[in-house]
Chain A
Amino acid sequence: MQVVYSFGAVGAVMVAAAAGLVIGGSAWIAVVAYAGFAVFLAGFCYRVVQWAAAPVPFRVPTTCGQQTSLPWIKSAALENPSTTSGVLGRMGLEILLFRSLFRNSQAGLHEKRLILSEQKYLWLAALAFHWSMLVILVRHLRLFVEPVPALVVALARIDGFFQLGAPDFYVSDMVLACALAYLLLRRFRDPVVRYISQFSDYFALLALIGIAASGLSMRYVTRVDVVAVKQFALGLAAFHPVRPAALGAMFAVHLTLISVLAAYIPFSKLMHMGGVFLSPTRNLANNNRAKRHVNPWNYPVKTHSYAEWEDDFRAKLKAADIPLEADHATRASAD
């Protein structure tokens, strides 16, 4: 059901894009793009501020290696960091290489035995997807900036290294398409993942697939007029939207889906892109006993004090000949 709704939602966005184009022309696309971007920016900041505003009362890193204790025991500086540089290293590995996902294994039962086998596909697909998307985003910069930064040109050249077809075929396009296909298939086919998947999960994937498909088709099939696109994009970026020559329905779909997805980010799990930096089980050093962590809302609580305890058990303490505070007091005054 969730899948059907997600397909419906993505389809509706596409239809709206085309209809908007017919009725409002490229002005419509500009409005959608601005609106999407504005919601994204405001929403993203709001969410991050909301997280940042919540205190971290306790230092609760999940430790994944040997602690720093005695000097002759080698500690795991990255898996269980006790210093800030170690934490930076750990976060770097998480964010750039998805370290924790790399640990993944799969539990299977064979004749009453539990077998834990290697399972790296999810890690590979996730890494492939995120990195290729980053490359593609950076490549897109050439549409928004003039002159095109050297870095972007160089990246595009490496990406188009194989120089197959005309225009050059980009490796990142291929990788992205495969990774998205794998991630979607996995949601459909793996019974566990299907069980936990929700509307939001399918919607994000389908929207990305729609964006990728429309983008690929503009580049390799319908061959959009890149000069016109760039003129339009530069105008958008300069807050001076120009009315370009006809850009076609595919372009409208592409940009509308992007705008809708961008606007959706702050309301969804896609916020993980910001949240991953703030996770207290990863971004804190395990130096708990070396450096006191302060809880800003620490408050006094009702305890059972020693004095009350001694009162409760005085006779028994005396009988058992366990030293009493009262005795100390008398002895002190007798001295």
Chain B
Amino acid sequence: MPQELLRIEAKKPGGNWTDPAVQFRKGVFCYSAAAKNVRALDLPNPRDWQPFDADWKLPPDWKRILLEGMKERLEKYRSFRLFMDICVRCGACADKCHFYVGSGDPKNMPVVRAELMRSVYRRYFTLTGRIFGRLAGGRELTEDIVKEWFYYFYQCTECRRCSVFCPYGIDTAEITMIGRELLNLIGCNTNWVLEPAANCFRTGNHLGIQPHGFKDSLEFAADELEEITGIRVDVPINRKGAEILFVMPSADYFAEPHYYTLLGYMMLFHEIGLDFTFSAFASEGGNFGLFSSHELMKRLNAKVYEEAKRLGVKWILGGECGHMWRVLHQYMDTMNGPADFLEEPVSPITGTKFENARSTRMVHICEFTADLIHSGKLRLDASRNDRWRVTYHDSCNPARSMGLLEEPRYIIRNACHRFFEMPENTIREQTFCCGSGAGLGTDENLEMRLRGGFPRANAVKYVQEKHGVNLLACICAIDKATLPTLLEYWAPGVEVGGVHELLGNALVMRGEKPRTTDLRGEPLSAEVTHA
């Protein structure tokens, strides 16, 4: 990375978007999927290629495959057909995309990203387009357009911010998802999406951690907790007959700062005496299939219900992860339900019925914990988080595909003293993406990630300067993986942590030894220890 900060400039859009030429410059695109990963998932056209190659080695009938794929999806998805038809190009969505703001590339305006597909739709699937071609806004499908699609559909984090502002709710993420699905039909996919997906298919999780590794990792966490709290917590794995199956993103047990969130979950479950189990098979709640195709999403998601059924649990609890919850909330029940072998979720501690999850039978950890706090079941010492001045980043999916806004805030307010919101139009449903979601979080794409993450970071910097914020709390594994890099670059001095890390710090456990450090091993200030 250059030492100097990236120049983010407001440029007047120039040129004509109908020209498909793109340049695969280092730092702004993701590498192709390795053939072995494509093969592992039985997807079409495994081969060695890279986006910057002149020849993409497409199958000979690629054009037919794409057009037939489009036709099929136009008939299967009302959203797709409608969004192809009704955009009035009012431009309301244009500057709502963090990639447009950060890159200044006019083709990153959501409306233009969609037009890349729409123009081909018009040319082949509408009467005026077939007759008048370019005059009716049509474009001939060429190999250059395939490259352009690849470039721009993997430069959208499917964050849905544009959809909030569109008068018709046109969701460019939906178009991107279909676009990627089409590209997958001819073998144009990225390794950062397909490798985790292939791992997940085989081992159960994105990181490819095998069952013994899974267990080691959790045992290690238990050891660490014993050191911090003096309490030995249980690590039940694949335990039949548990009441609740707990599913989390794999980064929680293998990456930092996710790991401290895992410690928080484990402390909480021990303290309330939850009858639960982890699963080494359903060892991933996240779902990189979402970033590839609806079918792959369904294939990877199937294990959650399958495992719940096998273990005979009553219901499922899910950890902190953004895109995981997009799938669990909006797709799982439809794809792999009905979950009639489970029971309607009831908190065994408070007796609260989670009415909002009575069909899917899966509850978000923040809903679960907020209920515990509200019912007075937890003793929290917020001063143990006094070294943090906290702000909260709404992750795109929980915000715009669920509306999980207050629960995490409620937990934070109870677990720490100093909480500051970022400006109104950058949080809640208007939250800015981390710039690395939807499978773009790889290092070869770093420049584009930093550009796309600029609006988010800019708002963080604002509260850093105004309120001295030094911790960005969030409930998303991709955020936790990628925001540290982003903030180090744009707002150095602000760290990233999970909501249940803060909870774990504050949680007063029965029989614990006096705490001298927080979950990160940092010493607690003297007054706190003695208080």
Chain A residues close to B by CB (< 8 Å): 5, 47, 50-52, 54-70, 72-76, 79-80, 82, 94, 98, 100-101, 103-109, 112-114, 116, 122, 126, 190-193, 195-201, 267-269, 271-272, 275-276, 278-282, 286-295, 297-298, 301-306, 309-310, 312-313, 316-317, 319-323, 325, 328
Not counting A67-B405, A289-B357, A309-B203, a sample of 6 additional A-B residue pairs whose C-beta atoms are within 8 angstroms of each other reads A54-B82, A60-B79, A192-B109, A281-B163, A292-B360, A306-B306
With both beta carbons as reference points, the residue of chain A lying nearest to B16 in the complex is identified as A195
Q: Contact check: which of B169, B329, B458 meets A281 at CB < 8 Å?
A: B169
Question: Any chain A CB within 8 A of the CB of B518?
Answer: no
Asked whether, in the complex, the Cβ of B334 is within 8 Å of the Cβ of A316, the reply is: no
Contact string, B380-422, partner A, CB cutoff 8 A, digits 1/0?
0000000000000000000111111111001000000000000
- Give me the 10 closest cross-chain CB pairs, A-B, nearest first: A67-B403, A275-B86, A281-B169, A63-B403, A320-B212, A289-B360, A107-B95, A195-B13, A282-B169, A54-B78
Closest to A53 in B: B75
A54 lies within 8 A of B238 (CB)? no
Would you call B481 an interface residue if the criterion is a C-beta within 8 Å of the partner chain's C-beta atoms? no
Taking CB atoms, residues of chain B closer than 8 Å to A272 are 86-88, 168
Chain B interface residue bracket vs A: 35 or more
Distance, CA A287 to CA B202, complexed state (A): 33
Q: With a CB–CB cut-off of 8 A, which chain B residues contact A306?
A: 281, 303, 306-307, 310
A89 CB, min distance to chain B CBs, angstroms = 15
Q: Is B76 a contact of A297 with CB atoms below 8 Å?
A: yes
| 10 sampled A-B residue pairs with Cβ under 8 A | A64-B400, A82-B356, A109-B9, A112-B5, A122-B92, A275-B86, A289-B357, A309-B204, A319-B212, A322-B238
Stretch at the interface among B254-262, B263-271, B425-433, B494-502: B425-433
Residue of A67, A301, A325 touching B404 (CB-CB under 8 A): A67
Bound form: Cα–Cα A192–B17 in Å: 12
CA separation between A107 and B406, bound complex, in Å? 27
In the complex, which residue of chain A has the Cβ closest to the Cβ of B403?
Answer: A67
Instruction: Name the residue on B nearest A328 (C-beta).
Output: B240
CA distance A325 to B87 in the complex (A): 53
B288 to chain A, nearest CB (A): 14
Residues of A within 8 A of B428 (CB): 65
Query: Which of B92, B201, B299 is packed against the most chain A CB atoms within 10 Å?
Result: B92
Q: Are A295 and B334 interface neighbours, CB within 8 A? A: yes
B136 close to A (CB within 8 Å): yes
The answer on a CB contact under 8 Å between A62 and B89 is no
In the complex with contacts A60-B330, A192-B94, A101-B167 CB distance below 8 A: yes
Q: Does B10 contact A (CB under 8 A)?
A: yes
- How far, in whole Å, are A276 and B169 apart by their CA atoms in the complex? 8
Contact of A197 among B86, B89, B455 (CB under 8 A): B89
B interface majority secondary structure: helix
Among A105, A271, A301, contact of B298 (Cβ-Cβ < 8 Å) = A301
For the complex, what is the distance from the CA of A17 to the CA of B160, rounded to whole Å?
46
Q: How long is the Cα–Cα vector from A84 to B281 in the complex, in angstroms?
A: 38
| Contact across chains for A292 and B333 when beta carbons are under 8 A apart | yes
Residue ranges of B at the interface with A (Cβ–Cβ < 8 Å):
5, 8-10, 12-13, 17, 42, 74-82, 85-92, 94-96, 101, 106, 109, 111-112, 115, 126-128, 135-137, 160, 163-171, 174, 201-204, 210-212, 215-216, 237-240, 280-281, 294-295, 298-299, 302-303, 306-307, 310, 329-331, 333-335, 337-338, 352, 354-362, 367, 370-371, 374, 399-407, 410, 423, 425-426, 428-430, 454-455, 458-459
Q: Return chain A residues, CB-CB under 8 Å to B425.
A: 105, 116
Tell which of A5, A50, A290 touches B357, judged by Cβ atoms closer than 8 Å: A290
Nearest opposing residue in chain A for B300, CB measure: A303
- A199–B459 Cα gap in the complex (Å)? 38
Could you tell me if B87 and A69 are in contact, using CB atoms closer than 8 angstroms?
no
A51-B82, A100-B169, A281-B163 known; A316+B403 contact, CB < 8 A: no
CA separation between A228 and B295, bound complex, in Å? 63
Look across to chain A and name the residue whose beta carbon is closest to the beta carbon of B335. A298
In the complex with contacts A195-B106, A279-B82, A73-B360 CB distance below 8 A = no
Q: Are A269 and B331 in contact (CB under 8 A)?
A: no
Closest Cβ of chain A to B131, distance in Å, is: 10
B95 touches A103 (CB 8 A): no
Known contacts: A54-B77, A198-B137, A290-B355. The answer to whether A114 contacts B170 by CB under 8 A is no
User: Contacts A62-B400, A276-B86 known; A192 to B77 CB distance under 8 Å?
Assistant: no
